[in-house]
Amino acid sequence: MILSGNRIDVAVFQESKAGKHLCGDSYYFHEAEEECICAIADGLGSGILARDSSQAVIDAIQQHRHKSIEAIMKHCSQVLVNRRGAVLGIMKIDFKTKVVTFTSVGNIGIVIYSRDGKKTRHIPSPGYLSGYRRSFQLSRRKIDIPSTIFMFSDGVKNEQQFDHLSRLPSSGEIVDWFSSSQYEKPEDDTTLLVMKYIST
């Protein structure tokens, strides 16, 4: 699926795990004049209850997208009271300062390739969101134009392929290549969100 904005070229691959018709992952992308925000939430377990948790988190992000990531994380935790927990990766890019801010809790991966091909991998905070306040590591750094960003849930098993895929010219081509390499239903719910920061 193509979600591209004006400055960010975006595409998404998503598939439910083998034996399930509903994916327990949810994702979000929104580009505004001054910034963009993207996220992947993965509800614990699989099926409808996992999807309920992940979608509740994404709904909270959409509602509070203008706030800081710290504030958004608090809202995401609150909506999980009396629900299954969820793991979450969330990122904002400030177009004016060209600063990317991101965090992840649990097994949501974030990998950034800069203009010269340098790879930066965010180390997620352990655990998951479950309705209680918890600590997390927030990262901030300058981002090049162009840069390629991969955000992905734990169904993506071969992260090394990103070294090659990052050199493809568009997010759509990356997702097409990734999709064509999936010969069997994944063992886990799988979401891959690919973003190319292409313009000021």
Domain that residue 12 falls in: 8-197
Looking at the structure of the chain, the number of domains it has is 1
pLDDT per position as a tens digit, 12-22: 999 999 888 89
Is 1 part of any domain?
no
Instruction: Write down the pLDDT at residue 186.
Output: 84
List per-residue pLDDT tens for the chain, 200 residues long. Answer: 666 678 999 999 999 998 888 999 999 999 999 999 999 999 999 999 999 999 999 999 999 999 999 999 999 999 999 999 999 999 999 999 999 999 999 999 999 999 999 999 999 999 999 998 888 999 999 999 999 999 999 999 888 999 999 999 999 999 999 999 876 778 899 999 999 999 87
Is 2 part of any domain?
no
Is 193 part of any domain?
yes
d(CA 64, CA 8): 21
Is 155 part of any domain?
yes
Q: Which two tokens stand for residue 200?
A: 């000021």
Backbone torsions φ then ψ of 196, nearest 5 degrees: -115, 120
Is 99 part of any domain?
yes
Is 3 part of any domain?
no
pLDDT per position as a tens digit, 12-68: 999 999 888 899 999 999 999 999 999 999 999 999 999 999 999 999 999 999 999
Instruction: Write down the pLDDT at residue 56.
Output: 99
Q: Which two tokens stand for residue 109?
A: 């991966």
Is 77 part of any domain?
yes
Answer for the pair 195, 149: CB distance below 8 angstroms, yes or no: yes
Q: Output the CA–CA distances (angstroms, integers) from residue 144 to 52, 97, 125, 192, 197, in the order listed.
A: 36, 11, 25, 21, 8
Task: List the strands of the sheet with 99-105, edge to edge.
Answer: 25-31, 35-43, 86-94, 99-105, 139-142
Is 134 part of any domain?
yes
Element (H, E) at 39: strand 35-43
CATH code of the domain containing 143: 3.60.40.10
